[in-house]
Amino acid sequence: MKQLTLVLTFLYSIILISCQDSKKDLSFIKEIKIPYTIEIQDYDKFVEESFAKKDIYEYAKVSNIIGKQDNISKIYFIGKFTMNKQDFVLYQDVTPNESSEFFPAIYITKIGKQAKKLCLTPTTEESYIEKIFINDKNIIIRENYWSSNEKRRKNDKLKEYNFDFSETNSNQDIKSNPSTEVNDLMIKNISTPEKVTDYLIFTKDKNNKLNISAEILNYIQKNTTATENRYTIALERYVSNEITKFFDEKKSVWTEEELIKIIAFASNTTDPLHKKYWKESPENWHNGMWGNILSYCYLVYPKNLWPNLQKQFKKENYYNLPYLKEMTSYATEFDRFGPP
């Protein structure tokens, strides 16, 4: 019995050390916060920057972590995150290749005894991936299709995957749903409103110009209540993030003129709803701190965005939006403690 106990103790020690070593294997990979977004707006620039990255690893030396894969010799680790006690790693294939058709693909791997991976950037002669969005529920990929002259885009499509890398929604072109289907679209995505606010309201058309879905904004305006405000809060969060990307991170896909127009149409939707409902149900509006876009512009960016925004609003006659002028004035009544 004593010998058996010693053997079991020895085996347990080996398992414990093995687990600790496995954890140490990931220590050199930086943590990323979820939700996490990767955008590929300029295909050629993305390829050029990918192959110019530093901190490149020999694939053979880390294959014990992310699994074996043919035809890859160099990789760049984007980051790691944990979801439901499961570790995941994002990395990119940056193997030197002289072929002009070679694309530095991005992968996600589930770490474990049998590493499982998914290519997040599958490309074909007709399509390429424009945006990858990882939240705490799923992985969403926006795919674009080339037109015949390969210079214009057409038909954005979304694909969804769970964290077992099974496709959960091989969806149709939901950006181009006719107005009769917008209601169904919004009801379907009410539990994940960012799928609409982050992807389908403000987009680029085939000529790379800003396109705004008035139908979706109208739906949000008509269907928000004091307690059902998920689309309003998600829209405010999306626009705030885009503002941060432009002014702080310097990596926005929008010009300042486009961003201000986005702020105008979004705030014309969210801010009147905030003013109308937040006092009725303050717990759903974070005591009035969430859901108002123009107050964020006024308080956080008073010396750059706010004066530029006012100037452009006046120049464009407030885009003939019914609430924008009033909401611009209302925003100045906020202070760092919240709404008036």
| CA 139 – CA 191 distance, rounded (Å) | 15
Residue 167 located in a structural domain = yes
User: Does 199 lie in the same domain as 121?
Assistant: no
User: Does 145 lie in the same domain as 271?
Assistant: no
Whether the model pTM is above 0.85? no
| Partners of 145 in the β-ladder | 127, 154
Question: Of 130, 150, 171, which residue constitutes the final position of a domain?
Answer: 171
Q: Is 252 left (phi over 0), alpha (psi -120 to 50) or beta?
A: beta
Residue 145 located in a structural domain = yes
User: Does 191 lie in the same domain as 161?
Assistant: no
What phi and psi values does residue 283 have, to the nearest 5 degrees? Answer: -65, -25
- What pLDDT score does 276 carry? 92
Per-residue pLDDT of the chain (340 residues; tens, 9 = 90+): 545 444 444 444 444 434 434 444 678 899 998 888 888 877 778 888 888 888 889 888 888 877 777 678 889 999 999 988 889 999 998 888 755 556 788 999 998 776 788 899 887 666 778 888 888 878 888 877 655 554 444 455 677 888 888 877 644 444 444 455 788 889 888 999 998 999 889 988 767 788 898 889 999 999 999 999 999 999 999 999 999 999 999 888 899 999 999 999 999 999 999 999 999 988 988 877 887 999 999 999 999 999 999 999 999 999 889 999 999 999 999 888 778 7
Kindly provide the b/e burial profile for residues 311-329, where b requires at least 16 CB atoms within 10 angstroms of the residue's own CB: ebbeeeebeebebbeebbe
Residue 23 located in a structural domain = no
| CA 68 – CA 263 distance, rounded (Å) | 46
Q: Give the tokens for residue 287.
A: 């005591």
Residue 18 located in a structural domain = no
Residue 16 located in a structural domain = no
Contact 282, 288 (CB under 8 A): yes
User: Does 221 lie in the same domain as 140?
Assistant: no
- Does 35 sit behind a cis peptide bond, omega within 30 degrees of 0 on the bond before it? yes
Residue 6 located in a structural domain = no
Question: Of 140, 171, 202, which residue constitutes the final position of a domain?
Answer: 171
Q: Which of 58, 41, 48, 195 has the alpha carbon at shortest distance from 129?
A: 41
User: Does 32 lie in the same domain as 61?
Assistant: yes
Place of tokens 């760049």: 76
Q: Give the tokens for residue 164.
A: 């077992």
Separation of CA 282 from chain center: 27
Q: Which of 335, 328, 227 has the alpha carbon at shortest distance from 272?
A: 328
Q: Which of 114, 115, 69 has the alpha carbon at shortest distance from 89?
A: 115
| CA 57 – CA 312 distance, rounded (Å) | 48
User: Does 126 lie in the same domain as 44?
Assistant: yes
User: Does 321 lie in the same domain as 294?
Assistant: yes
Residue 15 located in a structural domain = no
Contact 176, 165 (CB under 8 A): no
Question: Of 150, 171, 192, which residue constitutes the final position of a domain?
Answer: 171
H helix intervals, the chain: 2-25, 43-51, 59-66, 179-188, 194-197, 214-223, 230-244, 256-277, 293-300, 305-315, 324-331
Residue 219 located in a structural domain = yes
Which three-class secondary structure state does DSSP give residue 132?
A: strand
User: Does 123 lie in the same domain as 71?
Assistant: yes
Domain that residue 150 falls in: 28-171
Sheet holding 106-110, edge to edge: 56-58, 74-83, 86-93, 106-110, 116-119
User: Does 202 lie in the same domain as 143?
Assistant: no
User: Does 263 lie in the same domain as 155?
Assistant: no
Which three-class secondary structure state does DSSP give residue 323?
A: coil
C-alpha distances in Å from residue 322, one per residue of 120, 196, 213, 290 = 41, 23, 17, 22
| Partners of 74 in the β-ladder | 58
- What pLDDT score does 42 carry? 76
For 215-273, the pLDDT digits (tens) are 899 999 999 999 999 999 999 999 999 999 999 998 888 999 999 999 999 999 999 99
Q: Give the tokens for residue 199.
A: 């992807």
Domains of the chain: total: 2
User: Does 258 lie in the same domain as 275?
Assistant: yes
| CA 295 – CA 154 distance, rounded (Å) | 36
User: Does 235 lie in the same domain as 127?
Assistant: no
Contact 109, 66 (CB under 8 A): yes
Contact 130, 156 (CB under 8 A): yes
Separation of first and last alpha carbons in the chain: 75
Q: Which of 198, 207, 202 has the alpha carbon at shortest distance from 131?
A: 198
